[in-house]
Amino acid sequence: MTTTKIALLSALAAGALVLSACSGSETTTTESTSAPSAVESASESADAVEAAGGASVVATTTMLGDVTGEIVLCAGGNVEVLMPNGVDPHDFSASSDQIASMIGADLVVVNGLGLESGLTDSLANATSDGANVFEVAPLLDPIEFGAGSHSEEGHSDEEGHSDEEGHSDEEGHSGEEGHDDHGSLDPHFWFDMNRMATAAELIGAELTTATGDEAYTTCAQATATQIRAAEGEVRALLESVPADQRILVTDHEALGYLADVYGYEIAGTVIPAGTTLAEPSSADLAALVATIKAEGITAIFSNTSSPTALAEAVAAESGTNIKVIPLYVESLGEPGSPAATYVDMMRTNAQLIAEGLQG
């Protein structure tokens, strides 16, 4: 790859990062100078929900919001989702009204493991003011970054760091600087639907503890059963891809759970880190182009909540007939879209992956 082309790709990387950062900031509500304090607003919100009946719940991401919403729809209450559809959770920040909602809620459902890095201070402040914050991902046997850089059919990452269980060792993690916010554990657990089903059960149990109402546990078990049933369809779609074609290139390290569960290899990432806020180097981009050529990659899977310019530039630079296919990675789609619910999101992604690798 020429120096000029590497410079172009690096410039596009910087531009994509700026656009990603802007997308998160546009959703933040401006605080009014005459607004009541967060604690006062929280008290008013809690009183209103108590009068209406049922639990008051706040969820950070759209995936957790949808699953928690199913539980609360069944058992009673209200769920507020902090992040709008289509927003990257890595750089989203909360408004003062949203912080007040967290303080007044019976439960605040958080992904954790550093996914909501833009909410770190807000969550800490809300917790200090009495918010009941429940982090789900650390309880779901999280895998390490790089666990998907393999397959049982004998693929391994470029360094060859894989063991018999298919998990890369710590030195096999690419883009280690990009994992600073997450640590070594991957927060993107929702790409394993069985883990999400377990998350539903944990959330229900936590709501029962917070409210004393066993209906939340019962409804959570029903929600988990529905997720596990849908997982069978997703599995069938992903396993319809021949084993030697189950090779993924993604925009950042977010599909490790999917790869780990369904026998896929992640051959490379446009941003070699677990967050879209990291910046790829010229060497990273050159290595990815080389991998695409060597592996005969036919698709790069991007992210609907992040700019695609860098992925498209990498595809063009590879000199091959390669498609850039957006997946619903960090957020559900808008209402009425093919990914409006968590189950629909997973089904749609599986279909896009299967068609993209076999088309």
Q: What is the mean pLDDT of residues 57-85?
A: 98
- Domain contains 29: no
Specify the number of domains making up the chain. 1
pLDDT of amino acid 130: 97
Please say if the pLDDT value at position 91 is more than 60.
yes
Q: Which residues on neighbouring strands pair with residue 358, listed in sequence order?
A: none
- Domain contains 163: no
For 284, the token pair is 């990273």
The answer to whether 190 and 339 are in contact (CB under 8 A) is: no
Q: Which single residue is written with the structure tokens 């883990």? A: 195
pLDDT band at 308 (very low <50, low <70, confident <90, very high): confident
29 or 331, which is more confident?
Answer: 331
DSSP H or E stretch at residue 330: none
The answer to whether 129 and 240 are in contact (CB under 8 A) is: no
pLDDT of amino acid 148: 60
- Domain contains 276: no
The alpha carbon torsion through 170, 64, 272, 326 (nearest 10 deg) reads 150
Apex 42 CA angle, 36 and 48, nearest 5: 110
State the DSSP string of 278-292.
S---HHHHHHHHHHH
For 7, the token pair is 């410079």
Q: What is the CATH number of the domain that holds 57?
A: 3.40.50.1980
pLDDT of amino acid 276: 58
Residues 6+ apart with CB under 8 A from 60: 81, 82, 83, 89, 108, 109, 110, 111, 116, 119
pLDDT of amino acid 26: 35
For 93, the token pair is 């920040």
pLDDT > 90 in the chain, percent: 60
DSSP H or E stretch at residue 319: none
- Domain contains 349: no
Residues 6+ apart with CB under 8 A from 92: 24, 27, 28, 82, 83, 116, 118, 119
pLDDT of amino acid 90: 84
pLDDT in tens, 200-231: 999 999 999 999 999 999 999 999 999 999 99
Please say if the pLDDT value at position 198 is more than 50.
yes
The answer to whether 29 and 96 are in contact (CB under 8 A) is: yes
- Domain contains 357: no
- Domain contains 172: no
141 or 88, which is more confident?
Answer: 141
pLDDT of amino acid 23: 36
> Considering only 75-89, 112-126, 179-193, which range has the smallest mean pLDDT?
179-193
- Domain contains 100: yes
- Domain contains 272: no
- Residue 109's domain comprises 36-138+188-231
pLDDT of amino acid 278: 60
Q: How many CB atoms lie within 10 A of CB 294?
A: 10
Q: Which of 136, 119, 156 is nearest to 266 (CA)?
A: 156
Q: Which of 345, 20, 28, 350 is nearest to 196 (CA)?
A: 345
Q: What is the DSSP letter of 89?
A: T
Decide: pTM greater than 0.85: no
pLDDT band at 143 (very low <50, low <70, confident <90, very high): very high
Q: Which residues on neighbouring strands pair with residue 331, listed in sequence order?
A: none
pLDDT in tens, 31-70: 333 334 444 444 444 444 444 469 999 999 999 999 999 9
pLDDT in tens, 332-343: 999 999 999 999
17 or 128, which is more confident?
Answer: 128
Please say if the pLDDT value at position 185 is more than 90.
yes
Please say if the pLDDT value at position 6 is more than 80.
no
Residues 6+ apart with CB under 8 A from 156: 149, 150, 162
